[in-house]
Amino acid sequence: MDRCRGINDYEPGPVPSESRVDRYGFIKQNVSNSSAAEGLGKSREARRVRKWRKMIGVGGSDWKHYVRRKPHVVKRRIRKGIPDCLRGLVWQLISGSRDLLLMNPGVYEQLVIYETSASELDIIRDISRTFPTHVFFQQRHGPGQRSLYNVLKAYSVFDRAVGYVQGMGFLAGLLLLYMSEEDAFWLLVALLKGAVHAPMEGLYQVGLPLVQQYLFQFEHLVREHLPKLGEHFSREMINPSMYASQWFITVFSYSFPFPLALRIWDVFLFEGVKIVFKVGLALLKYCHDDLINLSFEKLIHALRNFPEDAMNPDILLPMAYSIKVSRSLAESKIEYEKQNRKPKIEA
């Protein structure tokens, strides 16, 4: 769904009044009066949009040239957040999905219309669980739910080895809020097949092998960067599988505030999965003094329900950017592979 167009372009029939829907299309839990702050925000956003339009060119025509010339400027601007009305286009450019789309004309339509999937009933069952408070997905069998079904069904046919896993719905749903079905499908392909960064398909394969690796690596990072908290987790028998699996499976799109999830996705698509580890560590660091005094049951609750102030992108993300993880991730990956290497069967 193109953020530069109105929600009513896609959702016929009655929808909640504008005052009850936030700028992203979610029904507000609390309606507050912040028109002055919003006015300042819109002025700042307009300036940023002009800079970004100049940087990417018409339809993204200047993007590759600009990235080659000024990679540090691009990285800095992405970390500050991509303007919302350009987000869908920029995501396609930085993920490599635009190239996949152009190289595969007609493939998506073939998958949706002419192929059948063994996962169709599972997809239908899960559709209503994806962003249920967003107006685009609220109408049963409406445009949003139909688009989500089509993308997930198409991918389950495109890659029958992976098929469909519930967490994939949040990835596809997030993408559909910013682009067409076909664009969302190819971005999903780019992510899972690794058009730019390491393939994500291991997050959804049988046994979730990549999830297991990432949780092992995250536990190492906690012990390295937050040793006292790591020891406390060990004493209370807390491991990352109890709280961090969804962080990796949905890239924070499942239960995190939407503005924070979007900012994480901006960086994730450009820099790769490292940002998921960094944000996870930053959350634990921010809440360190509270978490270290909690016992098992309260710890589990706290790790699944972080306070609102910890979810402020302008506080959390700079903290995440300052954390260095590349060397540790490389070392812990080697260690994980050693521990999980299957013994060779003698002939």
Pick the CATH number of 209-340 from 1.10.472.80, 3.40.50.720, 3.90.1520.10, 3.30.2450.30: 1.10.472.80
- Rounded CA-CA distance 120/267 in Å is 32
Topology at the third CATH level for domain 98-199: Helicase, Ruva Protein; domain 3 (1.10.8)
pTM of the model: 0.90
- Rounded CA-CA distance 127/339 in Å is 38
* Least confidently predicted of 24-33, 69-78, 226-235, 262-271: 24-33
DSSP string covering 276-303: HHHHHHHHHHHTHHHHTT--HHHHHHHH
Considering the chain, tell me which residue range(s) the CATH 1.10.8.270 domain(s) occupy.
98-199
pLDDT digits (tens, 9 = 90+) for 168-226: 999 999 999 999 999 999 999 999 999 999 999 999 999 999 999 999 999 999 999 99
Non-local (6+) Cβ contacts of 60 within 8 A are 89, 90, 92, 93, 98
Compute CA 65 distance to the chain's CA centroid, rounded to the nearest angstrom: 26
Considering the chain, tell me which residue range(s) the CATH 1.10.472.80 domain(s) occupy.
209-340
Query: Is the pLDDT at 302 greater than 90, yes or no?
Result: yes
Q: What number is the average pLDDT over the span 262-281?
A: 97
- The pLDDT-based confidence of 7 (bands split at 50, 70, 90) is very low
Query: Is the pLDDT at 61 greater than 50, yes or no?
Result: yes
Q: What pLDDT is attached to residue 16?
A: 53
pLDDT digits (tens, 9 = 90+) for 114-158: 899 999 999 999 999 999 999 999 988 899 999 999 999 999 999
- Rounded CA-CA distance 35/255 in Å is 27
Is residue 188 within 8 A of residue 156, CB to CB? The reply is no
- Burial bucket for residue 340 (CB in 10 Å: 0-12, 13-18, 19+): exposed
